[in-house]
Structure 1
Amino acid sequence: MAAESDFLLRYRAVSNKLKKRFLRKPNVAEASEQFGQLAKELKQQDCLQYAAFCNLAMARCEQTLFNAPGEALSLTEAARLFMEAEQETYRLRCPGFEEHLQAAINCYSFAIKVYVEVNQPVMAASLCLELGNALKEMNKPAEAIVYYQRAAELQVQVPIECLLSLGYAASCKILTRDYDGALSLFTEMQFIAQDRGLHVSGSSTPVGAFLDIVARCEISRVLLLMLLQPPPQKLLPEHAQTLEKYDWESFDSHSQVTFLAENVFLLLQSVVMACQEKDVDSLKSLQTELWALLTPEQNHLLHLVVLERIQPSGQGV
């Protein structure tokens, strides 16, 4: 209580300096510096939420001084302190109303807005990703999706970064069981990678990291289509074209999917046929063969596909 009382007295003392007086302008720069010093002391004492409030006061001072970079930095520090306080509560499994989390989200949002206004989309996108990662770590993937997608919008001029952010959002869609949403995002990612990725002269196949992203999207899309089993009349043209490549009757199908290793392509082709034939035993065998060739997320999707065939009602999903 003594520490809290001391904090309040010092906070009020600095705040009083900002009050307008007759024929005297408040020294906003000095107040901002003093709020910053108080914030450092409180942070060292592990009074994170109080330190965050001091950083918020700094941000208001910097806004008054029309110092946008300083305002954004103060808001970011406040956001991180509020988030750290919330994460500590989360780790300790203490009951609460997530007031620190809401404060952190608000501070992040204002900082992002400031960076957008001063035309620094890279900084804004990095804060979106930071907030998205924090929410995902706290088992809030649905909330994280919004910030991953916002990051992708801000990174539209940097395709590889945009694709990575969309990939995070797609993973969160899978965690929230929004498989239609995940399929849409993977489809969008594949189009972006193929359209804006680096290509070897004379080839339509992207190279480097873009090739890895296209391969990831292709495998995930096939597995999601096997999981969702959309009826032919509701199958979108781009999804129908994807499945056509895995038709056993298609001539030299692998020549259309050169970004996948031949053994992976053939095993995926077998998965599609086993799903069409509702051959659960073959699916289980293919699952074993594919396990080492897929990512943990893709293995999870394949596992759901197998469960769906065992329990057609969808209880396994």
Structure 2
Amino acid sequence: MTRARLPSVKMAAEGDFLLRYRAVSNKLKKRFLRKPNVAEASEQFGQLVRELKQQDCLQYAAFCNLAMARCEQTLFNAPGEALALTEAARLFLHCERETQALRAPGFSEHLQAALNCYSFAIKVYIEMNQPVMAASLCLELGNTLKEMGRPGEALVHFQRAAELQSHTPAEALLALRALASCKILTRDYDGALSVLTDMQFQAQERGVQLPGSTSPVGVFLDIASQCEISRVLLLMLLEPPPQKLLPEHAQTLERYAWESFDSHSQVTFLPENVFLLLQSVVMACQEKDIESLKSLQTELWPLLSPEQNHLLHLVLMERVAPSGQGI
């Protein structure tokens, strides 16, 4: 009995929504000698949003949020407009996730609607001179797209978040870290290496706070060390020929050469055991010593992030594949 009623209840809710939505929208029409009460309409749209969310009609709730945003724009209430647009974006994303979970065919229309809402909300925050709020929405959108398996689309939002947070170096570097991860996921290893190199330079430049020291501190130390590890692994994966090796990358590899005098003194932000293991990885790659690489992979595994372990795995695969050996 209950199952049989569900479609009719849903249809009744949809029909009621359309009638009420039109009734509120009609109040916004200009009439002779009568000014529309935009504030009242916005409040009524908000009430519709709350009721529709309780009925799990999230798509319609998102449309009501868009109507609210238009009302708030008319009232020159930028914070209210941005809030309504953000809520609409999140509801559209929820609908997109449900569609994907059901494996239902579609044209990602909910995702496109969410992208448009986020874009307008970000624009409003920028116009309000609130770059931090705009950046937070860029990060939210980027992380969502990355979780949905769309790293190629996510990276532009991480890039924008970094640009919007240029006045807060630590936050900008974390956004760039997410950008580098997306480039690795899309197999743009050259692009990832470029981003990580720039990150490491910024972390070392802005993170030095102690007089006479060359080592960054705090979060900058962690960022510099993680960038160094990832850059070495990417260089081993890409194996650029000497004539195409950029000076900054050549300097990095020189630090891990066995013949270098006291190499670890040049990379004080890495623990000595990690530095020595990376040095061994570089040597094993140069000598094409696959067995040593396998052994080093086991030792480094608990010391690296999942992404770095993935890179090390790719380095090993590149050298195993030509010889036809298995891992």
Which TM-score band applies after superposition, normalised by the shorter structure?
over 0.9
Cα distance in 2 for residues equivalent to 1:312 and 1:225: 19
Q: Deviations over 1:60-106 (max 9, x none)?
A: 11111111111100100100110111111122222221111110011
Partner of residue 19, structure 1: 29
- % identical aligned pairs: 82
Of 295, 314, 319, 1:309 maps to 319
1:179 matched to 2:217? The reply is no
Cα distance in 2 for residues equivalent to 1:161 and 1:312: 42
1:272 matched to 2:282? The reply is yes
Contact 1:159 1:197 survives alignment (8 Å): no
Q: How does 1:96-115 map to 2 (within 5 A)?
A: 96-115=106-125
Contact 1:90 1:138 survives alignment (8 Å): no
Contact 2:208 2:214 survives alignment (8 Å): no
1:154 matched to 2:129? The reply is no
Partner of residue 77, structure 1: 87
Contact 2:255 2:266 survives alignment (8 Å): yes
For residues 88 and 143 of structure 1, do their structure 2 counterparts lie closer, same or farther at Cα, with a shift above 3 Å needed? same
One-letter identity of the residue aligned with 2:141: L
Partner of residue 135, structure 2: 125
TM-score, L = length of structure 2: 0.94
Cα distance in 2 for residues equivalent to 1:73 and 1:19: 24
Cα distance in 2 for residues equivalent to 1:149 and 1:60: 29
Cα distance in 2 for residues equivalent to 1:223 and 1:115: 39
Cα distance in 1 for residues equivalent to 2:98 and 2:145: 13
One-letter identity of the residue aligned with 1:295: S
Cα distance in 1 for residues equivalent to 2:236 and 2:191: 15
Cα distance in 2 for residues equivalent to 1:268 and 1:102: 44
SS at match of 1:156: coil
Can you give the 5+ residue segments of structure 1 that lack an aligned partner in the other structure?
none
SS at match of 1:311: helix
Count of residue pairs brought into register by the alignment:
314
For residue 312 of structure 1, report the CA deviation from its aligned partner.
4.3
Cα distance in 1 for residues equivalent to 2:208 and 2:268: 16
Partner of residue 91, structure 1: 101
Contact 1:129 1:147 survives alignment (8 Å): yes
User: CA RMSD of the aligned region, Å?
Assistant: 1.3
Q: Deviations over 1:121-179 (max 9, x none)?
A: 11001111111111111111111111111111111111111111111111111111111
